[in-house]
Structure 1
Amino acid sequence: MGMTLERLERFGEAWRRKDLDLLMEFMTDDCVFRASVGVEPGTTFRGRAEVRRGFELMLAYDAGYESRGGEAFITGDRGASQWSYARTGDDGRVQEVHGCDFFHFEGDRIRVKDAYRRVHGHIGDAAAG
């Protein structure tokens, strides 16, 4: 049996609830998490203990933001999902971060979660230099 959209949606719901135990039930023993933030850019976590620690660090990094799901698809043993985080700043403006995850599945479990995010910045600043 392979990964289904319904099961992938349950993984996303567990992420939004910050349920580390449930999140890890979706992961294979040899899982890999490539975080959207870190020094590589991003940080890569390998194996169940490290991936759990990586999930915990990312959930703490995004604390204070409301997690929102988005579209997802699965093709064979690969898939992707969109997500966003939003919060209202002190000035009353809503700040949003958008991202996506690319997945490699093994059966109905996640072997690789590879995360990317769009961040706020000024594109003109880079072109001016």
Structure 2
Amino acid sequence: MAMTLERLAEFGDAWRDKNLDRLMEFMTDDCTFRASVGPEPGTTFRGRAEVRRGFELMLAYDAGFESHAGNAFIAGERGAGQWFYTRTDEDGQVHRVDGCDLYEFDGDRIRVKDAYRRVHGDIGHAPPHQS
């Protein structure tokens, strides 16, 4: 089986639902997650346990933002997907973060999720604590 746009969209739905168990169903045993924030720049998590922890940290980092899907494509064992987050502050100002994920697939599962983000203005939150 190969990754499909429909299956990749299901992964995005699991991300927006903050469903860690469901997210991990899409990942290979030797998976890697390169987060869009952290000291490298972006912290890299390897293996199922670490990737799960990385997903949990990123979901906490983006708490309070609403996640939206964008365009995606798949070309063989690679793919990409756009996304953005929005949050409206107490003054009614909308804050937006745009990003994309670059993927490597092994069949219908994700081996690598490499995330990038662009922050528009000061969104007022710091990176998650990395221990």
Structure 1 Cα separation of the partners of residues 30 and 14 of structure 2: 20
4+ runs deviating over 6 angstroms: none
What is the deviation of 1:119? 1.2
Does the residue aligned with 2:39 lie in a helix, a strand or coil? coil
Return the index of the structure with the highest Cα Rg. Answer: 1
Structure 2 Cα separation of the partners of residues 120 and 87 of structure 1: 12
Structure 1 Cα separation of the partners of residues 65 and 3 of structure 2: 28
Superposition TM-score, scaled by structure 2 size: 0.91
Identity of aligned residues (%): 76
1:6-25 counterparts in 2 under 5 A? 6-25=6-25
| Paired AA for residue 23 in structure 1 | L
Structure 2 Cα separation of the partners of residues 6 and 88 of structure 1: 30
What is the deviation of 1:121? 4.1
Unaligned segments of structure 2, at least 5 residues: 123-131
Q: Which residue of 2 is the match for residue 97 of structure 1?
A: 97
Unaligned segments of structure 1, at least 5 residues: 123-129
When the two chains are superposed, the root-mean-square deviation of aligned CA atoms in Å is 1.0
1:51-90 counterparts in 2 under 5 A? 51-90=51-90
Does the residue aligned with 1:54 lie in a helix, a strand or coil? helix
Structure 1 Cα separation of the partners of residues 69 and 17 of structure 2: 12
Correspondence 1:35 to 2:61: no
Correspondence 1:106 to 2:106: yes
Superposition TM-score, scaled by structure 1 size: 0.92
> Which shifted more, 87-96 or 109-118?
87-96
